[in-house]
Structure 1
């Protein structure tokens, strides 16, 4: 097996914390599900194109064509593969590349953060503030085509656009100013809101509203609800299988 094959194989493995009985007495999901988490106010979220940084730029990870994508889905998801391929359509090579990005984004990031928000809002008493960052980086940059990629929000959240040599627009600077204000407010009081910013409502699993941070800023319905429903069911079946 080549080095590239080894890297791709390792990327397919599940990354999970070790349950040592001390730091983690149980799985993170079970801890939150039973209300045994550290019940503190939380600000969490993910980016709309997390998967691009993990797939498109790096040939050792990127799917080459539709056949390879569909084969990888069937290998990973087994009897759920047809359902996955219906959700993440891949009728052409170009579609398969986007499907890989969307699947990676939802499985590794969006579902994790959405589930965290749902569990905290259900079993905890402290508010959780949940966002989806949806702003691509301006060009010229090798990241320009990656959309709202993994870690792309950091320079905005800490208002550091002046540290990056890119042609940011007034819209970028306004977003950075508002995001950093939310972050500072939360650090000071556990609430991102003040009387100058658009209101950021605490997450409620019943209404499933999230804060979108991008070209638009405000509360919206969870945009990946259908995909989250699939992974809710899929992960639930996995947890049940481990109990048997």
Structure 2
């Protein structure tokens, strides 16, 4: 009985003392969220569905929100932006979708001047949302654990995707990049309003994964971002990634126009027809059909709706714009097998234990990835990737090689190139490189498979803590390591310095010195290594780039 009284007294005392924001004044009006208890003396104030812009016009830049009367109850996520479902058989979401969610950690006193971390979701620029992928009731991107354990404000942001977010004619008539403009509008709103939530407007870090990571990269190199935020983190994608830029947007637009009955030969008439078309039909017309390419080509070719060089937000080749990023501290890296999902589509045999993956399969994959160079690239690249095979390579070695090729081409090499460009132009800002290689938790894959695309997110967002029954202690160790490094970086620009202890010092990546941190649950001094896959990076950025039949799509030679 005494113990029960003590517990009740502690709960009552905590309820009385726990800080809570209550109603917050924003530029659009008053908002009120809810306070979620995290531990005895810790809570997180959560504001869901706060508008940062008005309902966007079709293929128009976002406009300021007109505001509202009374107190907006910000306790439910709002609709995602209109998009195809994961199976791409129908659509869901709404055109009224430009909302964000704010997670503010509180102790016994009200938080002030906290660093702010703004998350941009991934999804191939085709799908995704700020509250995507529910895990036992909570979104994968739920920011409570990251906010509480890292003592930062976390903001997750919606932006337009698919046809409505990235359709373009490649000129002023339909310039494209509407999803990037949405992100910019959200970051600008956060800078203007976050002080009212206890955040420091001059200490914003943007971070994202996959298409969200490439978006972070685009926000960095855009001339519109000068002074807007302070730091950036790209997880598994950069603006230099071959899937992150559409170089022939008019061709894609004409293809979508045909699907919705707007196949006019006159481009102005086609655009007028598109603007009058049903948004759901337009969205479905932008879907990808993986079945059309399974084992017959490369899935990268299907990712057609993406940012473009518009002469405005992205005024030039991404590799020529890194001088705009010189002011931002930058942390970027990849998962060790980011390309595995894609390789599994392009070469299905790699995940089938009883199927043989041959040299011809690997050559076919290379042919699909390097076709802008013609046939010359195939023997060149094949010799680089088969040099360690020997006369009779084990089946798993050949299968892993296919994964390595896709990982290098789509993620690792462009990320290393971006890190090098950043440090080349940096004016005092710091640069950090990492490789996340925790063993996959996805059942059914071969024994050799390590970290797949997006497997890092569960640890960064603290799922081993919020859903402990689904994880082991080693997963909680890894989760705490990532939260510590990421939030230290957000606070100080140095992942080693902040309120959180880290297991291993992480040295910066410099112009002539290329260390990287190997992130997993078993970290020691040997977790710092150097010159990540430099043999392959040098091949793609130098040898491959110098092959004839250039189209400008290759990695920049200036990057090494």
1:189 aligns with 2:492: yes
> Residues 63 and 96 of structure 1 are in contact (CA less than 8 Å); yes or no, is this contact kept in structure 2?
no
1:44 aligns with 2:314: no
Partner of 1:171: 474
> Residues 185 and 194 of structure 1 are in contact (CA less than 8 Å); yes or no, is this contact kept in structure 2?
yes
Shift of 1:181: 0.7
When you count strand as a share of all residues, which structure comes out higher?
2
Can you list the C-alpha shifts for 1:7-37, whole angstroms capped at 9, x where unaligned? Answer: 65462428663100001011111212xx233
Partner of 2:511: 205
State which drifts further: 188-197 or 221-230. Answer: 188-197
Partner of 2:318: 28
Residue correspondence of structure 1 range 81-230 to structure 2 within 5 A: 81-89=378-386, 94-125=396-427, 126-138=429-441, 141-142=443-444, 145=447, 146-162=449-465, 163=467, 166-168=470-472, 170-194=473-497, 196-197=501-502, 198-214=504-520, 215-217=522-524, 218-230=527-539
Distance 1:173 1:3, change over 3 A: closer
Gaps of 5+ in 2: 1-288, 350-356, 553-560
State which drifts further: 47-56 or 98-107. Answer: 47-56
Gaps of 5+ in 1: none
- Bigger-Rg structure (1/2): 2
CA RMSD of aligned residues (A): 3.0
Shift of 1:68: 2.7
Distance 1:72 1:53, change over 3 A: closer
Q: Aligned to 1:62, which of 347, 352, 364?
A: 347
Q: Aligned to 1:79, which of 352, 357, 376?
A: 376
> Residues 136 and 144 of structure 1 are in contact (CA less than 8 Å); yes or no, is this contact kept in structure 2?
no
Provide the rounded CA distance (Å) in 1 between the counterparts of 2:544 and 2:379: 16
SS of 2:346 mapped into structure 1: coil
Can you list the C-alpha shifts for 1:124-167, whole angstroms capped at 9, x where unaligned? Answer: 2211121110111347x346853111111112222221337544
TM-score, reference length from structure 2 = 0.38
Larger RCO (alpha carbons 8 Å, 6+ apart): 1
Provide the rounded CA distance (Å) in 1 between the counterparts of 2:450 and 2:456: 11
1:5 aligns with 2:5: no
Can you list the C-alpha shifts for 1:88-122, whole angstroms capped at 9, x where unaligned? Answer: 22756544322210000001010111111111111
Distance 1:12 1:193, change over 3 A: closer
Distance 1:12 1:167, change over 3 A: closer
Number of corresponding residues: 235
Shift of 1:240: 9.1
When you count helix as a share of all residues, which structure comes out higher?
1
Distance 1:75 1:109, change over 3 A: closer
> Residues 138 and 144 of structure 1 are in contact (CA less than 8 Å); yes or no, is this contact kept in structure 2?
no
Provide the rounded CA distance (Å) in 2 between the counterparts of 1:242 and 1:52: 27
SS of 1:129 mapped into structure 2: strand
